[in-house]
Each structure stands twice: as C-alpha cells, then as structure tokens.
C-alpha cells in the first residue's frame, strides 16, 4: 500500500494542496501508526517513509504538520525505544527531512522540546550508518539548508557544535562515490534478474488470481470513509510485521537501495547545491564562515575542494548536454 500512497502524493500533490481534508487523512495515517501501541518498528518505518514522501513532494505547503512529524520521531528517539539500526535511521531521517523542508521551523520545534542536542548528537554519531545514496543526499541537503540560516537563528544550545556540520558533510561526500557505485551494481543485478523472470514468464502472462472486483464492490470501496482506510492500512502493517518479525529483531540489518521508491531527492545534484550554499555563506556571513572552516583539517579541506571540482564538472556536462539537445531540436526543425 505504501507505493500506492507514495504515487498518490507524488502525482497528486496539487490536489492535496487544494484539498486539505485529503492531506489531513494521509497525515492521520502517519500519526495512527505512531500512536497505536500495537504497531512496532517495522510498521513505523512505513510511517517514516510516508512522512518523508509528504515533506519531499509538498515543500512549502505543510508547515503546520512539521511539528507533528518531529514530535512523533523524537518521542521514540528520546526514549531510546528503537531497537534496530534501520528503524533508528528512518526515525532520524524523519527529522532530517523536516530540517531540509524548513530548518528554522524545525530547530524551533526541537529547541522548544529540549531535543536539539539529543538529535544532533544522534545524527552525527551515526553519520557512517547513512549508507545509501538516498541517506547521504538527504543529510547533505539538510546540512546545506542549515548552512543557509542566519547566525542569529542558530540555537545557543548547538552554536558551539555548529562547526560539526562541515565535518559531517565532508564525511558524507567522502563516502558518496562508493555508495553510488554500490547502487549502480545493485541496479544492474536487479535488471538482470528481471530480464530472467520475464523470459520465464513469456508462456504464462495471464493473471490467474482469485481477487476480482465487481461494480458493486467498487462502489462500496469508494464509499469507505477515512477511518476505514486508516484501519485497513494499520491492519496491513500488522500483517507485514508478522512476516518480517525476525528481520525487525536483527540489529545488524542493512537498508537496501532497491527498496526505495523514486523521490524528488533523486533529481537533486548535491555537489552543486553544497558549493552554492558554501559560497553564499562565505560572502554573506563571513564571520560564521570563518568559525565553521577554521576547525577543518587538511583532509577535510581537500574533500571540499574536490566537491567544488565535481560540481564544476557536472555543471559543464549539464551545459554541454543542454546545448547538444538544443542543436538536435534545431536540426530536426530544419528538416
């Protein structure tokens, strides 16, 4: 059901903005997952992913729900209730998504609850556990958002540790190429397996399942209210929890690149984004820039220079591709 809801949010974002009741219904599903005591960590990961989908696809339109998402995640983090690494990462990424969405608002919420130091300590002490390309790009995007804040908006409680932002982002960039390589290899393996499966299924492409909907059943489904949908979703999650119970108890679990749905973050070019933010910080807030960069070691400085170089290379390639595409269109038009 998560892929269906993800598609609904991704492709129906305009409708959700125009119909607050629909948006509230989906947010209600996230809240139900976290409020229900019968729902465990595996189930709540789905809630984290659904919240992430909302924050990535509805940027600027769901400010009113950011405090709720932070509260749901931080309540679990603060109580140290997350037993598995995967669950902890998804909880942290729920808050990281909120920071990427609106850093000033998110820090205000964290500060008002006394969670700021707790969260940042968890985030940066687990920086190497953000192994997937998605994880690294999200943290880079969130750190970049934090670096756009005025010095006066940074809570006093974390001002002393603020330079760790650059140390964290250099570590993320240092390990990003390896993560990209792993994802590419996983994608190739997935494509190879899919091709084999399609070859095996050539002689039998008919659906022979027993599930059918007649017109009456369709009408009944359309008449279901939001409460019924939420209950059905929670029941689905409970069933999934039973199937993956053993997985949920394994603290050495790894998150799979292939399990990710497409998100707007896929289109984000992290090198160019960080370079622009960093240069803006240097020109607009030189004192803050000085305070942040003076703690960087030689290796970290080299990594940032490498990030700048990669950003320039990607920008040049994008320009060349755009020019080639424009030339091709012009050539086709002259035929």
The per-residue pLDDT for range 88-136, each reduced to its tens digit, is 999 999 999 999 999 999 999 999 999 999 999 999 999 999 999 999 9
Per the structure, the complete domain to which residue 133 belongs is given by 2-199+224-264
DSSP annotation of 58 reads S
DSSP annotation of 262 reads P
Say what the alpha-carbon torsion angle 40, 45, 50, 53 is, to the nearest 10 degrees: 170
The average pLDDT across 67-96 equals 95
How high is the pLDDT of residue 229?
A: 56
How high is the pLDDT of residue 84?
A: 92
How high is the pLDDT of residue 224?
A: 54
The answer as to whether 288 is a domain residue is no
Answer yes or no: are the C-beta atoms of 142 and 96 closer than 8 Å.
yes
- Please state, in angstroms and as integers, the Cα–Cα distance from residue 291 to each residue in 89, 127, 134, 301, following that order: 29, 22, 29, 14
Cα(229)–Cα(29) distance, rounded to whole angstroms? 9
Query: Which of 333 and 13 is assigned the larger pLDDT?
Result: 13
CA angle, 240 then 182 then 3, to 5° = 30
The average pLDDT across 3-28 equals 94
How high is the pLDDT of residue 221?
A: 47
The average pLDDT across 147-164 equals 92
pLDDT band at 22 (very low <50, low <70, confident <90, very high): very high
Cα(282)–Cα(285) distance, rounded to whole angstroms? 6
Return the CA Rg of the chain.
22
DSSP letter string, 151-198: GGGS-HHHHTTTTHHHHHHHHHHHHHHHHHHHHHHHHHHHHHHHHHHH
The answer as to whether 193 is a domain residue is yes
The answer as to whether 285 is a domain residue is no
The answer as to whether 24 is a domain residue is yes
- Does pLDDT of 273 surpass 90? yes
The answer as to whether 9 is a domain residue is yes
The answer as to whether 218 is a domain residue is no
Cα(48)–Cα(55) distance, rounded to whole angstroms? 11
Query: Which of 215 and 136 is assigned the larger pLDDT?
Result: 136
Say what the alpha-carbon torsion angle 195, 201, 205, 210 is, to the nearest 10 degrees: -110
Number of domains within the chain = 1
The answer as to whether 314 is a domain residue is no
- Does pLDDT of 247 surpass 50? no
The answer as to whether 162 is a domain residue is yes
């Amino acid at each position: 059901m998560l892929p269906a809801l993800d598609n609904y949010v991704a492709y129906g974002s305009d409708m959700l903005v125009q119909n607050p009741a629909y948006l509230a219904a989906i947010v209600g599903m996230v809240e139900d997952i976290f409020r229900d005591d019968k729902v465990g960590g595996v189930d709540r990961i789905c809630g984290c992913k659904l919240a992430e989908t909302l924050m990535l696809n509805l940027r600027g339109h769901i400010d009113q729900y950011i405090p709720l998402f932070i509260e749901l995640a931080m309540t679990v983090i603060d109580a140290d209730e997350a037993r598995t690494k995967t669950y902890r990462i998804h909880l942290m990424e729920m808050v990281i998504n909120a920071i990427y969405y609106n850093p000033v608002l998110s820090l205000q919420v964290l500060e008002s609850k006394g969670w700021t130091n707790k969260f940042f300590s968890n985030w940066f002490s687990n920086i190497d556990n953000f192994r997937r390309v998605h994880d690294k790009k999200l943290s880079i995007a969130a750190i970049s958002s934090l670096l756009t804040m005025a010095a006066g908006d940074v809570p006093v409680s974390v001002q002393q540790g603020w330079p760790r932002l650059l140390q964290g982002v250099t570590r993320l960039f240092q390990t990003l190429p390896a993560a990209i390589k792993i994802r590419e290899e996983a994608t190739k393996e997935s494509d190879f397996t899919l091709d084999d499966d399609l070859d095996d299924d050539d002689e039998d492409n008919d659906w022979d399942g027993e599930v059918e909907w007649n017109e009456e059943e369709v009408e009944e489904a359309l008449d279901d209210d939001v409460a019924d949908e939420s209950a059905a979703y929670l029941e689905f999650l409970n069933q999934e929890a039973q199937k993956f119970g053993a997985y949920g108890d394994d603290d050495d679990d790894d998150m799979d690149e292939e399990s990710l749905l497409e998100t707007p973050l896929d289109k984000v070019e992290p090198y160019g984004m960080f370079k622009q933010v960093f240069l803006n910080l240097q020109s607009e807030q030189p004192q803050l820039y000085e305070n942040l960069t003076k703690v960087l070691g030689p290796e970290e400085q080299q990594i940032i220079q490498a990030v700048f170089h990669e950003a320039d290379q990607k920008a040049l390639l994008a320009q060349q591709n755009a020019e080639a595409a424009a030339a091709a269109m012009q050539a086709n038009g002259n035929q």
